[in-house]
Amino acid sequence: MAELGLCSRREADDWIAKGWVRVNGEVAVMGLQVARDARIEVDPQARGQQSRQVTILLNKPIGYVSGQAEDGHQPAVVLVQERNHWKGDAGNLRFAPQQLRGLAPAGRLDIDSTGLLVLTQDGRIARQLIGEDSGMEKEYLVRVSYGSVLTDAQSAFPTAQLARLRHGLSLDGQALKPAQVEWQNPEQLRFVLTEGKKRQIRRMCELVGLKVVGLKRVRIGRVVLGQLPVGQWRYLAANERF
């Protein structure tokens, strides 16, 4: 069911337990082996439950972790409160406490970084963004310095090293996928990645002698951070697609 994009694995377990799934006309039971050509039908109640799930876009501030609380730092989800709901949100959804149930980050953004973080109740969106086969683009603006050069890193940074950032580096013993990397101004690079290793951009920069001074994620797929203020959030609109 997850492979067909119907739901997440967790949702599938829940739906099967509730008797909402039929395979070839028979109510499915947990652990049932299903052939690839089997006919899978889902009860409308499951679709109704799914339609009520929310996806939230947060402009994460520095100092918050993406997932579980660690080392005394709070998880970003604590910011999802009515008082932090962006007044510029054009949608018609209203905040309700049940929207926090099962709300989880679809991807990471480290504690020292800011920008777009997606939190969702929808397993389909989580799979789209962080599934094993996901190649979703993520765009970052990265302020850097180069050795003792603080104000015009671009002029001092060798072109050959910029080429290595685009393709040629390895982390954790694995070659990185090609990335789009270009100068936006003398102190800032634009990165577009299709993978998400832990602290990837910071580690890539270290390998070529750059120091990251500031890092902000501004886009995931077709969804952009836009004018969303730091520390505030909005709902993913019904017409938005990653």
Active site residues: 110
CATH code of 142's domain: 3.30.70.1560
Number of structural domains the chain divides into = 3
Task: Determine, yes or no, domain membership for 1.
Answer: no
Average pLDDT value for residue range 22-31: 89
Domain span holding position 114 = 52-134+222-235
Those residues with Cβ within 8 angstroms of residue 166's Cβ, 6 or more apart along the chain or in another chain: 178, 179, 180, 181
Give the per-residue pLDDT at 204: 98
Contact (Cβ atoms closer than 8 angstroms) between residue 88 and residue 234: yes
Task: Determine, yes or no, domain membership for 184.
Answer: yes
**Same domain, yes or no: 226 and 117:** yes
**Same domain, yes or no: 46 and 23:** yes
**Same domain, yes or no: 87 and 62:** yes
Give the per-residue pLDDT at 9: 75
**Same domain, yes or no: 127 and 229:** yes
Task: Determine, yes or no, domain membership for 85.
Answer: yes
Q: Tell me the per-residue pLDDT of 94-112, one tens digit each, with 9 for 90 and over.
A: 999 989 988 999 999 999 9
Report how far Cα 85 is from the mean position of its chain's Cα atoms: 19
Report how far Cα 18 is from the mean position of its chain's Cα atoms: 30
Chain mean pLDDT for the chain: 92
Q: Is the dihedral of CA 72, 115, 88, 100 positive or negative?
A: negative
Average pLDDT value for residue range 204-218: 97
**Same domain, yes or no: 41 and 156:** no
**Same domain, yes or no: 183 and 84:** no
Q: Tell me the per-residue pLDDT of 157-205, one tens digit each, with 9 for 90 and over.
A: 999 999 999 999 999 999 999 999 999 999 999 999 999 899 999 999 9
